[in-house]
Amino acid sequence: MARNKLDTNDPHILHLAKLVSGPNAILYKQEDLLAYDCDGFTIERHLPRAVVFPNNTEEVAKIVKFCSENKLPFLARGAGTGLSGGAVPLNNEIIISLVRMKRLLEVDFENRRAVVEPGYVNLKLTNSIADKGYYYAPDPSSQYACTIGGNVAENAGGAHCLKYGVTTNHILGLEVVLPNGDVMEISPNGIADFPGYDLLGLLTGSEGTLGIVTKITVRILKNPEAKQTVLAYFDRVQDGSQAVSNIISAGIVPAALEMMDKVAIEGVEAAAFPVGHPKDIAAVLLIEVDGIAAGIDEQIQLILDVCKKSHVREVKVAEDEAERARWWANRKTGFGAMGAISPDYLVQDGVIPRSKLPEVLERIHKISEESGLRIANIFHAGDGNLHPLVLFDSRVPGDTEKAIRAGSACLKACADAGGSITGEHGVGIEKKEEMRFVFNDDEIKAQTDIRDVFNPDRLLNAGKLFPTPSRCAEMKQELKRPEHAK
Amino acid sequence: MGLPELEQNRPCNSAGLGNYLWNDPPKEYKWADCVHCGLCLEACPTYEQLGQEQHSPRGRVHLIKSVAEGKLQVNEAFADPVFQCLDCRACTTACPASVDVGGLIEEARGQVRQAMPLSGWKAMASKFLLETLFPHHERLEAAGGLLKFYQKSGLQKVVRKTGLINIMPDHLIEMESIMPEVKTSVRKKYKDINVIKAKEKTKRQVAMLTGCIMDVMFSDVNQATINVLTRNGNDVLIPKNQTCCGALHVHAGDREMGRKLAKQNIEAFESSEKVIVNAAGCGCMLKEYPELFHEEPEWYERAQEFSAKVEDIAKYLYDTGYEIPKAELKTRITYHDACHLAHGQGIREEPRDLLLHIPGVEMVSMPNADRCCGSAGVYNLTHPEMASAVLESKMTHIPEDVEMISMGNPGCMLQMAVGVQKYGRNQRVVHTIQLLDWAYQKEEVQGGKNHGTK
């Protein structure tokens, strides 16, 4: 099981190996590194220089300090389920894998908070406090496998973020290893609203470009007293979109309000968790309300009425927890399910004002026709967060490039409709050029200046989040970067 | 081992796939469904232990694909993650696109074994077990006989007392201490009987796979299976020419031997309409026989016909109906999902239902019941360290306050018995069908007659 003997003369590898404890704590052979050449975003693949597996904050700090002093590019990785390429080693980085730091350090029910290490898996937190009636709200679809450290880096969202907010709304404190190896605590003891600048907010969603999070204090919530889930089928996408708008206008804030279109339905029904959606419908809505038991029935009735007024073909309420779980498994495995109808997919992540749903979906439909690639839509309709999934076959020459262009065009459509290019997956490598759809050069420069305060040598996760510099000033700065960091 | 072996063993077909140079390579359509989403990671027991992606399902699929793309050779660095896999199939359950990772792993192992044949003592041990022993029932019986002699003669006591046992490797000591007492195999017992008749009116006729390990080490489970089948109106045939199912061979990458055994079984059960299996690993293998014959169309078809006839005992009883016993067993039990039953065959509720219908059986649910126990065929012999780490993790989930742990696979039964012994627990490890049999027996002793059916 353990292969501790090192078969290399590389002084950096030999030194790094001494900084980490535990069996087989460094990978450096090409064959072993292959599995780390990408994350959930598979279009760009690059081999890392090595992967190290620290067990605690001190080891992370030592590794970072060593990398910093020797000008070795490095980045942090969790479960590698990210969808924008945030953990792809573009510059032959040393990958600091945080998966062995997976302890639940503390649960404080009285103050409703928990302290976890970054490699702790999202769903495990909810599972380990469920018996006491508590849960952790942010629920990305990858929650079976993704780590809370990764959630912080990407400011992950999820189906239930419509009512409860995204990761940043649930982070109370962080311990961070800065790019020079210093360890910093932000908002120690998880005290809310610590004075000074909102560094928690800055770090959360910084996509691993400002520091490496080694300890996280999160908010935990009491389970809602009651919960009901509705499934509604529509013959026209416009009717489904209208129903979404009308539900919100009726004053209801559902815990989740999800939509899938025809191609997406074909995918989930062909995959491992089908629920028997009719094949000929144009859209399905999954609507969940929760809260105190009194009033839930009225809300459900209101939702049923709204759906009927929006020409719903069929609408039903989940009969029991098992049915509700089946509906959610079908929805939550939606991305991976595309494997059943396409060899590859590229998922996009645009945000638009809810009222623009029909118009943007129409444009996405046109993009699909023009590119000749099928596009499935799975999205958090309630908060206008679209996930167009461009289906393609990387074995067909030119298909990958076509998919990238189609994906970019979808984001342009979102930006043009007054929206944004990412809701929850992050920018990473994938959408860095599209940042120009929403920011001008000055705005981008202001943000890279902030990054450089934390990460002046740009050794930590370089080449992510912001577009390749186009202006002279930034080009000059870029030239100052150490040679091997590029 | 490494490249030199590669050169020594020239490819035997010209239509290779990237760096897969031999017949029957991993199939592209199987990995094409993987979109690298990573939802399989937490389902994988080896990833849980090692936290390294080359030891995760998607990592392994990625490596298997990389060989086909010519980025990686079939060498030791490839063999390690491919053989470290328990082949437990939990990843296929977790996968949104149901990627057949187990099938890919087995095909990849076939390539590894052809590229790098085992050498030294490993080759001898493997050849002895897989080629000389398991496929030959009479030899296995003889080995069982030796084991029986070892247990009965007092030699076992001598070995244990004298400390001779201390020179055995740890995992073998653990194994030795839980070896079930060997009884007469059902194949020997019924060798002169063509059909074991139903106790009352015959409703159906079934053929039974007795298995190799099962019939020597757990002949009482086979006997219980026959008792339950005949009690419920089934005539039971034990075809003479049947042999080992080949699962251990296919898991070890010896697909050639796997095919040989498969053909023998397909022929042996040709005239049977139903093939009943009480070992999850064997049942899963029999159902997957077609996978071995992608390059032999005639056998592929025969294998498909054969596979359609195979059924696990619990599922068979659940589907065809059985008498609910009248006697009460008065026991608290828990149920462990054998990987090749739950993940491999999708059989989860049927055995539980069967147990819950035995009067007086109280079922305590086991968290993560479908997590591998680390037995995985001969994995606990080839990868003892990982197998015991996986077992340790499994044991933490076994409820304290139960008297028995029920399951549907002999490999798991041995491994769980090791766990019970090693961690000072006191549960009895039983096969699901044994509990039903005991209830019937108790009922007969009490002279009660039951009319309830399910």
pLDDT at B173: 61
Q: At what angle do helices B57-68 and B101-115 cross, to 10 degrees?
A: 50
Beta carbons of B33 and A53 less than 8 Å apart:
no
Q: Which two tokens stand for residue B211?
A: 């298995």
Provide, as residue numbers in chain A, all residues whose Cβ is less than 8 Å from the Cβ of B37: 40, 81, 142, 335-336, 339
pLDDT at B14: 44
What is the rounded CA–CA span in Å between residue B289 and residue B268? 14
The yes-or-no verdict on residue B124 having pLDDT over 80 is no
Measured from the Cβ of residue B4, the count of other Cβ atoms closer than 10 Å reads 10
Provide, as residue numbers in chain A, all residues whose Cβ is less than 8 Å from the Cβ of B34: 339
B404 DSSP β-pair partners: B333, B428
Minimum mean pLDDT among B62-76, B126-140, B170-184, B325-339: which range? Answer: B170-184
Query: What mean pLDDT comes out for the span B211-215?
Result: 82
The yes-or-no verdict on residue A477 having pLDDT over 70 is no
Q: For residue B171, name the pLDDT band (cuts at 50, 70, 90).
A: low
Cα separations in angstroms, A138 against A148, B22, B196, B304: 10, 48, 60, 46
Domain boundary assignment for chain A: 11-97, 110-123+133-222, 224-341, 343-435, 436-485
Tens of pLDDT, residue by residue over A39-77, are 999 989 999 999 999 999 999 999 999 999 999 999 999
Give yes or no for a contact between B61 and A168, defined as CB atoms under 8 angstroms apart.
no
Residue of A nearest to B78 (CA): A31
Beta carbons of B37 and A343 less than 8 Å apart:
no
- Give the distance from residue B35's alpha carbon to the nearest chain A alpha carbon, in angstroms: 6
Measured from the Cβ of residue A354, the count of other Cβ atoms closer than 10 Å reads 16
Tens of pLDDT, residue by residue over B217-237, are 888 999 999 999 999 999 999
Q: For residue B5, name the pLDDT band (cuts at 50, 70, 90).
A: very low
Tens of pLDDT, residue by residue over A392-429, are 998 899 999 999 999 999 999 999 999 999 988 999 99
Q: At what angle do helices B384-395 and B170-178 cross, to 10 degrees?
A: 50
What is the rounded CA–CA span in Å between residue B92 and residue B101? 6
Give yes or no for a contact between A239 and A313, defined as CB atoms under 8 angstroms apart.
no
Query: What mean pLDDT comes out for the span A129-149?
Result: 95
Mean pLDDT across chain A: 92
Question: Which of B37, B72, B75 has its CB closest to that of A336?
Answer: B37
- What pTM did the predictor assign? 0.89
pLDDT at A2: 45
The alpha helices in A2-77, defined as continuous H runs, are 11-19, 30-33, 57-69
For domain A224-341, the question of CATH label 3.10.105.10 is answered with: no
Q: For residue A371, name the pLDDT band (cuts at 50, 70, 90).
A: very high
Beta carbons of B96 and A79 less than 8 Å apart:
no
Q: Which CATH class is domain B324-446?
A: alpha beta
**Which CATH fold would you assign to the domain A343-435?**
Alpha-Beta Plaits (3.30.70)
Interface test with B, best of A30, A32, A103, A141 (most B CBs within 10 A): A32
Q: Which two tokens stand for residue B196?
A: 């074991």
Q: Which two tokens stand for residue A1?
A: 């099981």
Q: How many CB pairs under 8 A join A and B?
A: 118
CATH for A110-123+133-222, options being 3.10.20.30, 3.30.465.10, 3.40.50.300, 3.30.360.10: 3.30.465.10
Fold match flag (A224-341 vs A343-435): yes
- Give the distance from residue B32's alpha carbon to the nearest chain A alpha carbon, in angstroms: 5
What is the rounded CA–CA span in Å between residue A46 and residue A87? 10
Cα separations in angstroms, A471 against A432, A444, A478: 15, 11, 10
Q: Which CATH class is domain B3-115?
A: mainly alpha
In chain B, count H helices and then E strands.
25, 9
If DSSP codes are grouped into helix, strand and coil, which group holds residue B331?
strand
What is the rounded CA–CA span in Å between residue A245 and residue A135? 29
Cα separations in angstroms, A157 against A37, A139, A384, B38, B433: 25, 7, 13, 17, 47
Q: For residue A302, name the pLDDT band (cuts at 50, 70, 90).
A: very high
Residue B219 CA, distance from chain mean position: 16
| CA-based end-to-end distance of chain A | 36
Tens of pLDDT, residue by residue over A235-278, are 998 899 899 989 999 999 999 999 999 999 999 999 989 999 99
Mean pLDDT across chain B: 87
Q: Which is more confident, B160 or A356?
A: A356
Give yes or no for a contact between A148 and A118, defined as CB atoms under 8 angstroms apart.
yes
Q: Which CATH class is domain B186-318?
A: alpha beta
Interface ipTM? 0.89
**Which CATH number describes the domain made up of A11-97?**
3.30.43.10
Q: Which is more confident, A160 or B10?
A: A160
pLDDT at B10: 46
pLDDT at B183: 75
pLDDT at B445: 84
Measured from the Cβ of residue A23, the count of other Cβ atoms closer than 10 Å reads 12
Query: What mean pLDDT comes out for the span B108-132?
Result: 78
Domain boundary assignment for chain B: 3-115, 121-178, 186-318, 324-446
Residue for token pair 């992967």: A51
Beta carbons of B96 and A335 less than 8 Å apart:
yes
Measured from the Cβ of residue B423, the count of other Cβ atoms closer than 10 Å reads 12
Burial of residue A280 (CB within 10 Å: 0-12, 13-18, 19+) is exposed
Fold match flag (B186-318 vs B324-446): yes
